[in-house]
Amino acid sequence: MKRQLILKTLFIATFTFISFQILIIPAYLERQSLYSRFFSLYSSLQIPLISLEVDLLNTSNNAGQFHHELGKRKTLTYAVLKENSSTVSLEKFKLHFETIGFKLFVTKSLNNEVKTKVTSHYFLCNIDLTVHIVVLYPRSSKSLWLGDFVLPSDLKNNCNIKNDSFTSYPGLYDRFTTVQKHKILFPSSKYNIIEASKRSHFIECNYTRAEQFYSKHPPDKSEEAVKFNRKARQIIARAKHYLDDLNIPFWLSSGTCLGWFRQCDIISYSKDVDFGINIKYYKPELISAFERGGFFLKHVFGKVTDSYELSFQAGDIKLDLFFFYDEDDYMWNGGTHHETGQKYQYIFPKFSLCWTLFLELKVQIPCPTLPYIEANYGTTWLEPVKDWRWNESPPNVRTNGVWSKLEWDDVIQIY
């Protein structure tokens, strides 16, 4: 009886070992060799792919183990920088990829900068491995653009596509340097592109709408207007620099946001620049950082827990920082009348933030933008209004009590 049990155990072990050798190992080795063939091909063709498998940067320094880890993955994501017309196009290597078992798919997106469709994504597909290559285009001296993604049925049926930020929407990224590990390029660890991709959603300014607006309301080309626009752009760039250094997210708000949305430009008669900031990101060192940068504090209204607002002066242009507060189903920022202590509240529908390019600067805007604009300016926002009263004109303004005179020294500070 005991001998039969031993023989049975040996038989099962032997069968399992043989099955593993015959069925599992060859399939695994095929996966490994498929990745190896791909790596060897793009290396020999000198295609400058940048791996976005950034989680591997901190793994083993052993090259064999490193590539072994890559070979186990069902999908791999890369980027290629399309710096100029001489940059390699993968279409020319279609037959090469087919020879090693991959089918090439290409998607195209409208690039508003060149006003034509350009390649946005490549997919190299095999039943065992999908290689997704995103094509990044320069959009300013510091930004890279990724086109939107439309999933054709034949691509969906042939490829294993990850549902991630690179396939969900057009994106805007900071330019980045690369590092090399085991003959593979990666984005430098100083720029976490995977985390950035989750917050990369890009909205292009509507240039058609801007042209229609200016056809009806020609731009002011006076020397004063041109001078204001140039100074306003400089102030946005400087303020962005200080806020970025403090890791304080901001967005274009009020008239500055309207100018971007309506005419892709500064509203020359507005005479100020407006940013929005969620109060949860406020830092006490914000004021001193701006003052060191040459901004002069003009006023402080409210307090951090209620209706906080900062205003700085830079030359003859004012920069307003409006702090927003979250409620269950809306957001709001406050206002204070410095002569009466009257408090005001401006109500906005909930929104997230998306990126855009404004005056060649990478900045954020409320997303979706139209409800934000209509809350602040009503449905007639396309018509210029030069007689604007901050505490009466906005359709979303409400009175919100009065500051007690005992609080005035703290909540109404004018410099």
Mean pLDDT of the chain, nearest integer: 90
Task: Report pLDDT for 159.
Answer: 87
**Other residues' Cβ atoms within 10 Å of the Cβ of residue 400:** 16
Q: Is the confidence at residue 282, as pLDDT, over 80?
A: yes
Mean pLDDT over residues 261-283, rounded? Answer: 96
**Other residues' Cβ atoms within 10 Å of the Cβ of residue 213:** 19
Task: Report pLDDT for 20.
Answer: 43
Answer for the pair 120, 109: CB distance below 8 angstroms, yes or no.
yes
CA angle 33, 38, 41 (to 5 degrees): 120
Sign of CA dihedral 284, 354, 147, 134: positive
Q: Is the confidence at residue 158, as pLDDT, over 90?
A: no
| Of 51, 78, 80, nearest in space to 66 by CA | 51
Alpha carbon separation from 65 to 103, 182, 184 (Å, rounded): 28, 10, 14
In order, the DSSP letters of 307-322 are: EEEEEEEETTEEEEEE
Answer for the pair 340, 402: CB distance below 8 angstroms, yes or no.
yes
Task: Report pLDDT for 22.
Answer: 44
Task: Report pLDDT for 2.
Answer: 54
Lowest mean pLDDT among 4-8, 210-214, 219-223, 302-306: 4-8
Mean pLDDT over residues 382-392, rounded? Answer: 93
Mean pLDDT over residues 36-65, rounded? Answer: 89
* Owner of token pair 């304080």: 248
Q: pLDDT exceeding 70 applies to what percent of the chain? A: 91
| Of 177, 196, 175, 195, nearest in space to 186 by CA | 177
* Owner of token pair 């034509």: 116
Higher confidence at residue 182 or residue 256? 256
| Domains of the chain and CATH, by start | 33-197 (no CATH), 207-414 (3.30.460)
Backbone angles phi, psi at 188, to 5 degrees: -55, 145
Whole-angstrom distance, CA of residue 186 vs CA of residue 189: 8
Whole-angstrom distance, CA of residue 303 vs CA of residue 347: 18
Task: Report pLDDT for 18.
Answer: 45
Q: Is 32 left (phi over 0), alpha (psi -120 to 50) or beta?
A: alpha
Mean pLDDT over residues 125-132, rounded? Answer: 93
* Owner of token pair 């003052």: 291
Q: Is the confidence at residue 29, as pLDDT, over 80?
A: no
Give the burial class of 312: count Cβ atoms within 10 A of its Cβ; 0-12 exposed, 13-18 middle, 19 or more buried. buried
Q: Is the confidence at residue 122, as pLDDT, over 70?
A: yes
Backbone angles phi, psi at 180, to 5 degrees: -115, 135
Taking the whole predicted model, whether its pTM rises above 0.75 is answered as yes
DSSP state of 20: I
Per-residue tokens: 348: 């906005």
Answer for the pair 175, 196: CB distance below 8 angstroms, yes or no.
no
CA angle 168, 171, 173 (to 5 degrees): 140
Interval 329-373: pLDDT, tens: 999 999 999 999 999 999 999 999 999 999 999 999 999 999 999
Q: pLDDT exceeding 90 applies to what percent of the chain? A: 73
Q: Is the confidence at residue 30, as pLDDT, over 80?
A: no
| Of 83, 74, 32, 36, nearest in space to 53 by CA | 74
DSSP-based three-state secondary structure for 177: coil
Could you write out the three-class secondary structure of 52-71? Answer: CCHHHHHCCCCHHHHHHHHH
Q: What stretches of 113-253 show up as alpha helix (H) in DSSP?
A: 153-158, 165-168, 193-197, 207-216, 223-245
Whole-angstrom distance, CA of residue 310 vs CA of residue 232: 17
In order, the DSSP letters of 253-276 are: -HHHHHHHHHHSS--TTS-EEEEE
Interval 393-411: pLDDT, tens: 999 999 999 999 999 999 9
